[in-house]
Amino acid sequence: MQGLLTETLPTDLQAHVAQHWESISEQLTHEQQQVLSGQSPSFWQALTRTLAGSDYAAEQWRRKPELLTDLLPDLLRSYSDTHYAQALQGHLSTVNSENDLHQALRRFRQREMVRIIWRDLNRTATLVETTGDLSNLADACIDQALRWLYAQACTQSGTPMSRPSAGKPATPQQLVVIGMGKLGARELNLSSDIDLIFAFPHSGETEGARRCLDNQTFFNRLSQRLIAALDNTTADGFVFRVDMRLRPYGKSGILAPCFAAMEEYYQDQGREWERYAMIKARVVAGDQECGAELMEALRPFVYRKYLDFSAFDSLRDMKAMINREVRRRNLDGNVKLGPGGIREVEFIAQAFQLIRGGRDSRLQQRELRHILPLLPETVGMPQQAVTELEQAYRFLRDSEHALQAVADQQTQELPQETFEQARIAFSMGFDDWESFYQTLQTHRQRVRHHFEQVITPVESEEAPVQDSDDWESLWQGDMEDAALDDFLTQQGYAPDGEAAKMIAELQANRKVAVLQPVARERLDRLMPQLLQQCAGAEAPTRTLQRVLELIEAVLRRSAYLVLLVENPGALAQLVRLCSASAWFAQQLARQPILLDELIDVQSLYAPPDRAHLEDELRQQLLRIPEEDVEQLMESLRYFKHAHVLRVAAAEISGTLPLMKVSDYLTFIAEVILTRVLEIAWRMLTEKHGRPMREPGVPCDPDFIIVGYGKMGGIELSYGSDLDLVFVHNADSQLSTDGDKPIPNQMFFTRLGQRIIHILNTLTHSGQLYEVDMRLRPSGNSGLLVSSLKAFEDYQLKEAWTWEHQALVRARVVAGCSRLQSDFEATRKRILEQPRELEKLATDVVEMRRKMREHLGSKNKADDENAVFNLKQDRGGIVDIEFLVQFFALAYGAKYPALLTFTDNIRILDAVEQASLLSAADAELL
């Protein structure tokens, strides 16, 4: 028989491995030796590495030498996710007693642990496969043991049933086992304990036995037996160490509460660290269907609808507690809990999950390996940082496995003995301890750096601003009035005492007086920073007034205070932009959720182009169930508010010129209208089927939204409403093709109504846009949606001159591209009609006079305080617009370029090119 390749080992390990093999060889039968002798050199190399890295595997082979040959078919193959469950079910099929169950579970676990250790140490399995195998093994052991014990318990005590209620019959009840921590995330390590929570759906009692038990007693006893089956140490060892301390009320809590008790606990008493723990919760055994319902009910406890920056505080507190434990127990060499260890990588990911997971469902995942790659897109973390965290995490987890493979012990502590250090270095693929340790430290230093970028360590937290003691004293009311006024004046505030008055009013505000201690602490941390930031603004007192409106608006939602405390850059941007724009401050006070947009300065001052806007909105809506219309509407509103805010920030900062501002505001509206049309179309076609363009040919959708006014002219401003007209191109005599058909005209009318509803409805986040439909044929008395033919007939035969003026600025902003081409041809025919110039001029001037009288300023001739309406008064914007429209209608037939574009600037360019105005006049306009 071939021998081990001990010469490939470091000198320190050779004798140790040889001794292991000698002990094993003595136990091998002749047949087993024959089987092994036929193995390839790669097998012997792998066996050598395994014996070097794992005393546990060596001991299992010494006690059960047949295990070595029995494992041969499985050492080089990957298992499916269901392999363990199927294999263990076969092992337990002949078990007749609880003692036999314990033995079968332990022996099954021993065999599979040796296989997993072999594959991990020889790198024939990736880290993901190793942790997945370990998690699947645990799942199978828990679930199969529970099935066996549940059947036994029902035989002895009857089947637990729910109480019949509201016409519902009693139904059998089963236990739900929730895996927490690494088990829940399918990231179990080589010697993990398993954190479990037990629960059952409904109260009731057992049926089918001479003596009934209430369900609570039944499931408590079943849970105790399941723990014993997994956790008790027998002659065959244990299956998994079980930790139940994460259940409601911890050690003092009921072992297996009902669902109602679970929900009540997390709703009323759940603590921040329990939210952190629940991120990874997963139903691992028992009633999967009921378990899924429970997890869905608990989801709002974990993921808040708003941006929850309070997670930073709770995670910092948890890390501080761990740091104290690390110092107390001298755990600096611990690859999990020590500085730059596994736990810090997990904290980084889970901080962002808790903060943003309620708004971004992509972050509602358990596995760290799925969360880290999302961070560049979802939270703006640099890709380089994520790459370094991923590399460090893999190295740290591999190191953890190398430590635990030695003796199947739950340790993450680096060894001090030279021999053990040589063993770990070899298992990790290094020639010596020094090179391994240097690489480990590099990874840990990177993790620590990124951790401190995300979660400022408590011990090293510095005052965020200079003179912090003075500002702190001011806010806490420790300054005398005279000293306070002098200090504020010296810092740049106006000497009129207004700043001191505003600060005093906030301090005396009832909302501040009734704040919970945590919220008050957050306000106290923020205000000194905010006061100093405002002092550096261009007009400190005015800026402070604007910012304090926002602060008052968010007092009851103190997570926003944390956002500003944790992100000094965001606070600086807030002060800068509010200083420059009262509108900006008002928007944030109405929609404080938009504060999140201030964090990423790069995106704040660089609004995306139309293609990126389309892609971003599409991605956001894809993450929302199609049937959840309310959430779709909220997502549309947040998208609009966030991007309008970015445009405003870019304009205020001077990085976006005027014409680009209106372009972007129009692009935002176009992208939203496209998605609103898709949503409304889907909702109606699901109910009624598709309208028919002609017999046998469905519409796709043969519907367009035409923008007029500023929308049509690509000239939207921040508060613009949308002047819209809806047009279809289907046969009005036909009906839809669904199970509940309706006439085409009714379908398109309802489609228009649904679009307006989505845009106009005032939700918690406001409305998308105010929609004005008065420019449709026949105005408010006309059909909501016209066919293209009816539209053309009206424009040619009935429309007033002012309606043709409006058509100059009309263009298709969403909908069917084929119908868009037809509409553009129709618009061209209408606008190219020959017109009598004198009558046209009279009509335009008369309409302008009526508008000015109705909408312009009502100044008297001798009014010293006369005001000028930029839009409607003589010489205002509308005068320019009417002049442009006159040129288009008067000369469009002769100069087609006048009808190509819908915006004033490019039409004026065409007017100049046609020599209808001098270059100087065109430039002036």
pLDDT (mean) for 703-709: 97
Is pLDDT larger for residue 355 or for residue 45? 45
User: Are 679 and 620 a contacting pair, CB within 8 Å?
Assistant: no
Distance CA 475, CA 488 (A): 12
Give the H or E element holding residue 207. Answer: strand 204-207
Give yes or no for residue 462 having a pLDDT over 70: no
Distance CA 145, CA 681 (A): 51
Please give the structure tokens belonging to residue 632: 């779709």
Least Cα distance to 180 among 242, 233, 128 occurs for: 242
- Specify the range with the lowest mean pLDDT, choosing from 156-170, 461-475, 591-605, 870-884: 461-475
Give yes or no for residue 115 having a pLDDT over 80: yes
User: Are 92 and 159 a contacting pair, CB within 8 Å?
Assistant: no
Distance CA 563, CA 561 (A): 5
Least Cα distance to 129 among 88, 82, 80, 93 occurs for: 80
Q: What is the pLDDT of residue 179?
A: 97
User: Are 639 and 667 a contacting pair, CB within 8 Å?
Assistant: no
Give yes or no for residue 881 having a pLDDT over 90: yes
Give yes or no for residue 591 having a pLDDT over 70: yes
Residue 708: phi and psi, rounded to 5, are -115, 175
- Specify the range with the lowest mean pLDDT, choosing from 413-417, 425-429, 467-471: 467-471
pLDDT (mean) for 271-285: 89
Q: What is the pLDDT of residue 705?
A: 98
330-380: pLDDT as tens digits:
778 899 988 899 999 998 898 888 888 877 888 889 999 999 999 998 888
737-772: pLDDT as tens digits:
988 999 999 999 999 999 999 999 988 888 899 999
User: Are 156 and 209 a contacting pair, CB within 8 Å?
Assistant: yes
Residue 783: phi and psi, rounded to 5, are -65, 145
pLDDT averaged over the chain? 90
Q: What is the pLDDT of residue 321?
A: 67
Give yes or no for residue 867 having a pLDDT over 60: yes
Q: What is the pLDDT of residue 468?
A: 61
Task: For residue 105, give every residue at least 6 positions away whose Cβ sits within 8 Å of its Cβ, in sequence order, or none.
Answer: 88, 92, 141, 144, 145, 229, 230, 239
Distance CA 284, CA 375 (A): 27
Give yes or no for residue 463 having a pLDDT over 60: no
Q: What is the pLDDT of residue 377?
A: 86
Distance CA 653, CA 580 (A): 9
Distance CA 387, CA 367 (A): 16
Task: For residue 488, give every residue at least 6 positions away whose Cβ sits within 8 Å of its Cβ, in sequence order, or none.
Answer: 474, 499, 500, 535
- Looking at residue 514, its amino acid is V
Question: According to the 3-state scheme, what is the secondary structure of 840-891?
Answer: HHHHHHHHHHHHHHHHCCCCCCCCCCCCCCCCCCCCCHHHHHHHHHHHHHHH
Banded model confidence at residue 590, pLDDT cuts 50, 70, 90? confident
Angle of the 568-580 helix axis to the 629-653 helix axis, nearest 10: 70
204-248: pLDDT as tens digits:
999 988 888 999 999 999 999 999 999 999 999 999 999 999 999
Give yes or no for residue 307 having a pLDDT over 70: no
Per-range mean pLDDT, top range of 158-172, 296-310, 391-405: 391-405
Q: Is the peptide bond before 339 cis (omega within 30 degrees of 0)?
A: no
Handedness of CA 606, 381, 131, 145 (dihedral sign): negative
Radius of gyration for the alpha carbons in the chain, expressed in angstroms and rounded: 36
Q: Which residue has the tokens 């041809």?
A: 825
Task: For residue 444, give every residue at least 6 positions away whose Cβ sits within 8 Å of its Cβ, in sequence order, or none.
Answer: 335, 338, 339, 340, 341, 392, 396
Give yes or no for residue 251 having a pLDDT over 90: no
Banded model confidence at residue 464, pLDDT cuts 50, 70, 90? very low
Q: Which residue has the tokens 């390590």?
A: 189
Q: What is the pLDDT of residue 386?
A: 95
Torsion of the alpha carbons at 153, 158, 160 and 162, rounded to the nearest 10? 180
User: Are 381 and 394 a contacting pair, CB within 8 Å?
Assistant: no
Q: What is the pLDDT of residue 2?
A: 60
pLDDT (mean) for 108-128: 96
Q: What is the pLDDT of residue 620?
A: 85
- Specify the range with the lowest mean pLDDT, choosing from 237-241, 324-328, 538-542, 662-666: 324-328
H helices within 185-309, ranges in order?
215-231, 259-268, 272-278, 288-302
Task: For residue 269, give every residue at least 6 positions away whose Cβ sits within 8 Å of its Cβ, in sequence order, or none.
Answer: 248
Report DSSP letters for 8-65, one per residue: GS-HHHHHHHHHHHHHHHTT--HHHHHHHHTS-HHHHHHHHHHHHH-HHHHHHHHH-T
Please give the structure tokens belonging to residue 653: 């900062």
pLDDT (mean) for 99-124: 96
Q: Which residue has the tokens 């006014």?
A: 709
Distance CA 231, CA 193 (A): 9
Task: For residue 365, give every residue at least 6 positions away whose Cβ sits within 8 Å of its Cβ, in sequence order, or none.
Answer: 353, 371
User: Are 440 and 339 a contacting pair, CB within 8 Å?
Assistant: no
Least Cα distance to 368 among 341, 397, 345 occurs for: 345
User: Are 761 and 633 a contacting pair, CB within 8 Å?
Assistant: yes
Give yes or no for residue 636 having a pLDDT over 50: yes
Three-class SS state of 248: coil
532-548: pLDDT as tens digits:
999 999 899 999 999 99
User: Are 827 and 807 a contacting pair, CB within 8 Å?
Assistant: yes
Q: What is the pLDDT of residue 270?
A: 83
Q: What is the pLDDT of residue 481?
A: 80
Give yes or no for residue 858 having a pLDDT over 50: yes
Q: What is the pLDDT of residue 460?
A: 42
